[in-house]
A and B are shown apart, each in its own frame.
Chain A
Amino acid sequence: MKIDELNRESEMIYSGHNACPGCGAALAVRYLTRALGTNLAVVLTASCWSIIAGMPPFTALKCPVLHCPFPSAGSVGSGLKRGLNAKGLQDTTVIVLAGDGGTFDIGLQSLSGAAQRNEDYIFVCYDNEAYMNTGMQSSSATPYGALTNTAPYPLFKEGQKKDIMQIMAAHGIPYAATATVAFPEDMEEKLKKAKEISGFRFIHILSPCPPGWGTESSDTIHLSRLAVATGFFPLYEVRNGVNWKMTVPTDEKRIPLNDYLSGQRRFKKMDEPRRQILQKEIDRDWESLMKRVNNSK
Chain B
Amino acid sequence: MPPELTKETEYYQCGTEPSTANKTGEWRFLTPEKGRKLSPCRQSCLLEGEIPLWLEAVKKDKWKEAWQIMSLYNPFPALTGHVCFHPCIENCNRGQLDQEIDIQAIERAIGEWRLANYERLVKLKEAKGRIAIVGSGPAGLSCAYYLNEAGYAVTVYERSKLIGGMLALGIPDYRLPRKVLQKELALLQEEGIKFVAGCTIGKDLKLTELYDQYLQVFVATGAWFSRKSAIPGEESRGVWNALDFLSMINSGQVPAATDPVVVIGGGNAAVDSARSALRMNGVNNVTLIYRRSKVEMPADPQEVEAAEREGVELIFNALPRKIEKKGEVIRAVLLDHCKTSLEGLTVDCSRAFRKNCGTVIMAIGQEADLSVFGNMEKPTTLFAGGDLISGPATVPEAIRSGRLAAAGIRAKIEGLPETEPVSAEENPVLFSELNLKSKINLELQQRQADPSAEAGRCLGCGSCTSCGICYIFCPDLAVDQIDGRYQLNPDYCKGCGICVKECPSQALIMKGGR
Taking Cβ atoms with an 8 Å cutoff, the residues of A that contact B are 1, 3, 6-8, 11, 13-24, 26-27, 30, 53-67, 181, 184-185, 210, 216-222, 225
Instruction: Please tell me which one of the listed residues B3, B5, B19, B473 contacts residue A16 in the complex, with CB atoms under 8 A apart.
Output: B19
CA distance A6 to B21 in the complex (A): 23
Contact status of A8 and B19, CB under 8 A, knowing A26-B476, A63-B3, A220-B496: no
CA distance A23 to B20 in the complex (A): 17
Instruction: Please tell me which one of the listed residues A27, A57, A216 contacts residue B17 in the complex, with CB atoms under 8 A apart.
Output: A57
A220 touches B14 (CB 8 A): no
Q: Give B469's nearest chain A residue, CB to CB.
A: A3
Interface: B152 (CB within 8 A): no
Q: Nearest 4 pairs between A and B by C-beta? A: A59-B15, A218-B497, A22-B496, A16-B22
A218 touches B19 (CB 8 A): no
A220 touches B475 (CB 8 A): yes
Instruction: Please tell me which one of the listed residues A14, A57, A58, A66 contacts residue B477 in the complex, with CB atoms under 8 A apart.
Output: A14
Instruction: Please tell me which one of the listed residues B11, B28, B498 contacts residue A221 in the complex, with CB atoms under 8 A apart.
Output: B498
Interface: B76 (CB within 8 A): no
Interface contacts beyond A20-B494, A26-B475, A57-B15: sample of 9 additional A-B pairs, CB < 8 Å, sorted by A: A1-B472, A3-B471, A15-B476, A16-B21, A21-B475, A21-B495, A22-B496, A30-B477, A222-B502
CA distance A59 to B500 in the complex (A): 28
A16 touches B481 (CB 8 A): no
Residues of chain B within 8 A of A60, CB atoms compared: 15, 18-19
Residues of chain B within 8 A of A219, CB atoms compared: 501
Interface: B405 (CB within 8 A): no
A15 touches B15 (CB 8 A): no
The smallest C-beta distance from B75 to any residue of chain A, in angstroms, reads 33
CA distance A21 to B495 in the complex (A): 7
Chain B, interface size category, equals 35 or more
The smallest C-beta distance from B296 to any residue of chain A, in angstroms, reads 45
CA distance A18 to B475 in the complex (A): 11
Interface: B386 (CB within 8 A): no
Contact status of A225 and B477, CB under 8 A, knowing A64-B2, A67-B14, A216-B497: no
Residues of chain A within 8 A of B476, CB atoms compared: 15, 17, 19, 21, 26
B497 touches A58 (CB 8 A): no
Residues of chain A within 8 A of B491, CB atoms compared: 15-16
CA distance A97 to B23 in the complex (A): 25
Q: Give A41's nearest chain B residue, CB to CB.
A: B3
Contact status of A22 and B475, CB under 8 A, knowing A7-B481, A221-B438: yes
The smallest C-beta distance from B12 to any residue of chain A, in angstroms, reads 9
Q: Give B11's nearest chain A residue, CB to CB.
A: A66
Residues of chain B within 8 A of A61, CB atoms compared: 2, 15
Q: Give B9's nearest chain A residue, CB to CB.
A: A64
Q: Give A28's nearest chain B residue, CB to CB.
A: B475
A217 touches B498 (CB 8 A): yes
Q: What are 6 A-B pairs at a CB distance below 8 A?
A: A15-B489, A16-B24, A17-B19, A21-B28, A58-B17, A67-B14
Contact status of A62 and B1, CB under 8 A, knowing A7-B481, A17-B476, A22-B475: yes
The smallest C-beta distance from B361 to any residue of chain A, in angstroms, reads 56
Instruction: Please tell me which one of the listed residues A1, A6, A218 contacts residue B500 in the complex, with CB atoms under 8 A apart.
Output: A218
Interface: B492 (CB within 8 A): yes
Interface: B105 (CB within 8 A): no
Residues of chain B within 8 A of A181, CB atoms compared: 473
Q: Give A25's nearest chain B residue, CB to CB.
A: B475
The smallest C-beta distance from B263 to any residue of chain A, in angstroms, reads 54
Residues of chain A within 8 A of B472, CB atoms compared: 1, 3, 6, 184
A56 touches B2 (CB 8 A): no
Taking Cβ atoms with an 8 Å cutoff, the residues of B that contact A are 1-3, 5, 11, 14-24, 27-28, 437-438, 440, 467-468, 471-473, 475-478, 480-481, 489, 491-492, 494-498, 500-502
CA distance A210 to B475 in the complex (A): 12
Residues of chain B within 8 A of A15, CB atoms compared: 19-20, 24, 476-478, 489, 491-492
Contact status of A13 and B477, CB under 8 A, knowing A53-B15, A56-B14, A56-B15: yes
Contact status of A22 and B22, CB under 8 A, knowing A3-B467, A57-B15: no
Contact status of A30 and B475, CB under 8 A, knowing A8-B481, A220-B498, A221-B438: yes
Most buried by A among B1, B440, B494: B494
CA distance A58 to B21 in the complex (A): 8
The smallest C-beta distance from A92 to any residue of chain B, in angstroms, reads 10
Q: Give A31's nearest chain B residue, CB to CB.
A: B472
A58 touches B19 (CB 8 A): yes
A217 touches B438 (CB 8 A): no
Residues of chain A within 8 A of B480, CB atoms compared: 8
Residues of chain B within 8 A of A26, CB atoms compared: 475-476
B15 touches A21 (CB 8 A): no
Residues of chain A within 8 A of B440, CB atoms compared: 1, 3, 184-185
Q: Give B491's nearest chain A residue, CB to CB.
A: A15
CA distance A204 to B489 in the complex (A): 31
Residues of chain B within 8 A of A18, CB atoms compared: 19, 22, 24
Residues of chain B within 8 A of A210, CB atoms compared: 496
A65 touches B437 (CB 8 A): no
Residues of chain B within 8 A of A22, CB atoms compared: 475, 494, 496-498
Instruction: Please tell me which one of the listed residues A55, A64, A67, A218 contacts residue B498 in the complex, with CB atoms under 8 A apart.
Output: A218
Instruction: Please tell me which one of the listed residues A16, A23, A221 contacts residue B492 in the complex, with CB atoms under 8 A apart.
Output: A16
Most buried by B among A7, A21, A219: A21
Residues of chain B within 8 A of A20, CB atoms compared: 494
Residues of chain B within 8 A of A54, CB atoms compared: 15, 19, 22
The smallest C-beta distance from B426 to any residue of chain A, in angstroms, reads 24
B3 touches A64 (CB 8 A): yes
CA distance A62 to B16 in the complex (A): 9
Contact status of A16 and B475, CB under 8 A, knowing A53-B15, A225-B437: no
CA distance A3 to B479 in the complex (A): 13
Q: Give A184's nearest chain B residue, CB to CB.
A: B472
The smallest C-beta distance from B476 to any residue of chain A, in angstroms, reads 6
Instruction: Please tell me which one of the listed residues A27, A62, A64, A185 contacts residue B475 in the complex, with CB atoms under 8 A apart.
Output: A27
B5 touches A64 (CB 8 A): yes
A63 touches B18 (CB 8 A): no
Contact status of A16 and B496, CB under 8 A, knowing A6-B468, A63-B3: no
CA distance A53 to B15 in the complex (A): 9
A221 touches B502 (CB 8 A): yes
Residues of chain B within 8 A of A220, CB atoms compared: 475, 496, 498
A63 touches B475 (CB 8 A): no
CA distance A278 to B66 in the complex (A): 54
Instruction: Please tell me which one of the listed residues B27, B468, B496 contacts residue A3 in the complex, with CB atoms under 8 A apart.
Output: B468
Residues of chain A within 8 A of B438, CB atoms compared: 221
The smallest C-beta distance from A128 to any residue of chain B, in angstroms, reads 13
The smallest C-beta distance from A182 to any residue of chain B, in angstroms, reads 8
CA distance A22 to B2 in the complex (A): 25
The smallest C-beta distance from A35 to any residue of chain B, in angstroms, reads 13
Q: Give B27's nearest chain A residue, CB to CB.
A: A21
CA distance A17 to B478 in the complex (A): 11
A23 touches B475 (CB 8 A): yes
CA distance A16 to B478 in the complex (A): 9
A16 touches B20 (CB 8 A): yes
A14 touches B475 (CB 8 A): no
Residues of chain A within 8 A of B11, CB atoms compared: 64, 66
